[in-house]
Amino acid sequence: MQKDLLPDNNTNDVKRKVLNKTRISTGTHNYFIELKESENGSKYLVIDQTSRSGNNQYSSVKMRIFEDEILEFHRQFKKMVKLMVEDDL
């Protein structure tokens, strides 16, 4: 597992430990998912979606999911994916 120290853009360039990361590329979007550790030792996910907005410019949407919220997020996410895949709406 890679442990990089990278600046977290929305935290005044404070270094956060990257515990693991992955990238998902589709035809129109790129998703970057990082598991980070804060200075106090708590873990959180950063999900960054980037897409080309024209003229070789990119737009980015980033969200953070904190350790105390991840289980409920995961439960609800799985529920929505199941509905999407099974098309039971």
pLDDT reading at 89 higher than 70: no
pTM: predicted TM-score of the whole model, two decimal places: 0.74
Domains of the chain: total: 1
Least trusted range by pLDDT, from 14-18, 27-31, 43-47:
14-18
pLDDT digits (tens, 9 = 90+) for 72-86: 999 999 999 999 999
Q: Which DSSP string do the residues of the chain spell out, in sequence order?
A: ---EEEE-TTTTT-EEEEEEEEEEE-SSEEEEEEEEE-TTS-EEEEEEEEEEEETTEEEEEEEEEEGGGHHHHHHHHHHHHHHHHHT--
Q: How confident is the model at residue 3 (pLDDT cuts 50, 70, 90)?
A: very low
**Residue 63 sits in which domain range?**
4-86
- The CATH number of residue 59's host domain is 3.10.450.700
Q: What is the CA radius of gyration of the chain?
A: 15
pLDDT, tens digit, for every residue of 4-27? Answer: 555 555 554 466 899 999 999 998
pLDDT digits (tens, 9 = 90+) for 62-72: 999 999 999 99
